[in-house]
Amino acid sequence: MPDNRNSGGRGGGAGGKRNATAIISIILWALVITVLVNYATSMARSAHTQEITYGEFRQMVMDGKVEAVEMTSAKYTIYPKTEPAEESAAPAESPSPESQLGLPPLETLNTTQKTYYCAPPTTANVRDDGLIPLLEEYGVVQYGSPYEEPLSPIVSLLISYVLPMVLMVVLFSFLFRNMAGKMGGGLGGVGKANAKVYVEKSTGVTFKDVAGQDEAKESLVEIIDFLHNPQKYTEIGAKLPKGALLVGPPGTGKTLLAKAVAGEANVPFFSISGSDFVEMFVGVGASRVRDLFKEASKMAPCIVFIDEIDTIGKSRDNRMGGNDEREQTLNQLLAEMDGFDPTKGVILLAATNRPEVLDQALLRPGRFDRRIIVDRPNLAGRLATLQVHTRNIRLAEDVDLKKIAIATAGTVGADLANLVNEAALRAVRLGRKAVNQEDLLVSFELVIAGSEKKGSVLTEFEKKLVAYHEVGHAMVAYKQKNTEPVQKITIVPHTQGSLGYTLLMPEEDKTELRTRDELLAKIAVSMGGRAAEEVVLGTMTNGAAQDIQDATSVARNMVAMFGMSDEFGMMALASRRNQYLDGGYGMDCAQDTAAAMDRAVKEILDRCYKQAVATLEESREDMDKVVAYLLEKETITGAEMVAILEGRDPALADRYPDPEQKREKHTPTVSAAPDPIPLGGEISPEGKRTE
């Protein structure tokens, strides 16, 4: 049976002090609530009583409006009659006390509605020996009070305050214990680790479920082998690394790999997020770290996995202000990693997509000895990942996963899983029993540009403008050598802000290595949309905003980090800050140098834009033919565009053109231009969009 338990144990002396503080807090809160309850009760009682003077009380007696009087040494409580009083023998012409006080007539009151009270004359050192005869004269025979044995002040205090406070303490303790059971143990979860313990059957993940990360799996196989056969390593004197850090972009499968290691090793798996250690109270995170390693040592051999360790492992740089709680947690983690013995079989795994912010003390040998890169998969990795995610999917005979793997360059495992799921949902939506190739391609485009806006209507001018914009991208890419073939051109609006897009699909898997000419070509292809607007329509639109951003980003990287500028040469002007996230970088140069860098970037952009304009001007007639067909169909394939340019019937065109045949017929049109910019290279699968 799976063993799902929360880790136990206390956080040491500090945890005991915190628990004592919590108990005192509960008692104080109970006392406050008790006082408030007594006060509220007193206020509720006072709402049905009213104070009068002793003289007004005598007048009420003489008016025959008193039913009974409860007399104590400190207070007379007067209960008025519920029925109108009969005429008494004594004159009653004087105004009644209630009329003087603005009170409602006493005849309308009863003992449940309103009572009165007054201070006895003895409190003012005055005697009224005639009160009892007066009461008997006017028919008030119920006076005095029944005898009660007086309670001692101590007993009265216990009943009024101590007993309710004890009940409150018991109630609060019960509630806090219930909360502690749900939050990971301890009084309110303080001093306890929130790590959940799993065994192999609970994770349900093995290396068979992980694809596209062969290098990472090879590094982790040693850890699994050590947990199974530790003597093989101890005999030769080898020591297993205490910790392994999984680094890579989001969605590449870092957490999945950690679960797979636990599943393969058949050992307990402690899983906790870095944010679970951080609390507003200083010392709580450190206590939870101690508790986590204490429990792990009890269940050794086991694997401890800390996800998003950058939450607590940030560099201890106090230049911008520090965080005492986070730093104490980090210090405790460092101490625990130094203190535990790896021969016992406690393996620490951690994952992050921000390794650049981690403290250097955390990364040194002896702590996280091994850094395992879990990067974006290559072509073989994407194909294997697609095969894993389609194991339980019914596929049609026309499905070619390799073509999908080629088209999805730059994606991660999570993207591919989502693509397969969207394809299955589309097949069900269309009433099919199996997923075909079209479902996968449409799902890929859905991830890129979103779903089609069926209710969006473009004017004829807008459709023409978008068509020339998108064909401009396609023509600049097609007319050059060594470029990726055009897969699809559409002018159908999509939900992700695009009025159309041009999709270029690589023919084979390529690394991230790019030449200067390829990068310049990528910029020129990005400029193709704006160039078409100027060449054909003589105008500009905001639809090229994303294209300009993409082109500027490539040009700036060429100058700042790639050393491809004639002015600066091999000088690094910037450094990458978030390698696995947004890819942003920070400037490492003076302001004057940054201004000169901007001028160099602008020069590159201007040259590439002129190159794109020249290409489209020479291909104006061909571009008009493609645009006319696109306006008719709204969506065309790259093969149909090639057929139009070659004078063939586009209706008979193959879906995937022969790239070699295309290159034999088309050579660069700008090769003779001064300082040529070959427009080969790659454009990202995201394509070019018109907003």
Annotated binding site: 248-255, 469, 473, 547
Residues 182, 175 contacting (CB under 8 angstroms) = no
Q: Tally the C-alpha atoms within 13 A of residue 65's C-alpha that lie toward its C-beta.
A: 20
Q: Which of 72, 63, 134 is nearest to 103 (CA)?
A: 63
β-strands 115-118, 49-51: how paired?
A: parallel
Return phi, psi of residue 306, to 5°. Answer: -110, 110
Q: Within 13 Å of residue 524, how many CA atoms lie on the same side as its CB?
A: 31
- The gap between the terminal CA atoms of the chain, to the nearest Å, is 55
**Beta bridge mates, 270:** 197, 304
What backbone phi and psi angles, to 5 degrees, belong to 574? -150, 165
In angstroms, the CA 617 to CA 638 distance is 21
**Cα separation values, 378 from 165, 254, 339, Å:** 67, 16, 39
| Residue whose structure tokens are 């002018």 | 491
Cα(404)–Cα(419) distance, integer angstroms = 10
SS3 518: helix
Active site residue 470: yes
Q: Mapping DSSP to helix (H, G, I), strand (E, B) and coil, where does residue 390 land? A: coil
Pairing state between β 688-690 and 500-504:
antiparallel
Whether the Cβ atoms of residue 492 and residue 500 lie closer than 8 Å to each other: yes
CA dist., res. 481 & res. 662, Å (int)? 9
Nearest C-alpha neighbor of 205 from the set 160, 257, 254, 251: 257
Q: Contact, 144 vs 131, CB < 8 A?
A: no
Structure tokens of 441?
């391609």
Fill in the amino acid letter for 212: G
Q: Helix (H, G, I), strand (E, B), or coil: what is residue 302?
A: strand
Q: Looking at residue 370, what DSSP letter applies?
A: E
Are the C-beta atoms of 317 and 361 separated by less than 8 Å? Answer: no
List the Cα angle 545/539/473 in 5-degree steps: 55
Which residue numbers belong to the known binding site for ATP?
248-255
Q: Which residues pair with 435 in a beta bridge?
A: 395
> What span, in angstroms and rounded, lies between the C-alpha atoms of 61 and 90?
11
> Residues 109, 50: contact at Cβ < 8 Å?
no
What value, to the nearest 5°, has the Cα angle with vertex 124 and ends 120 and 126? 80
What are 68's strand-pairing partners? 79, 142
Catalytic residue (one of 336, 445, 470, 682): 470
Q: Under a CB-based contact definition with an 8 Å cutoff, are residues 465 and 533 in contact?
A: yes
Q: Phi, psi (5° rounding) for residue 402? A: -65, -40
Order across the sheet with 500-504: list the strands. 635-637, 486-490, 500-504, 688-690
Distance of CA 508 to the CA centre of its chain: 36
The dihedral region occupied by 200, where left means phi > 0, alpha psi between -120 and 50, and beta the remainder, is: alpha
Two tokens at 517?
Answer: 């000419």
Residue ranges of the binding site for Zn(2+): 469, 473, 547
Catalytic residue positions, numbered: 470
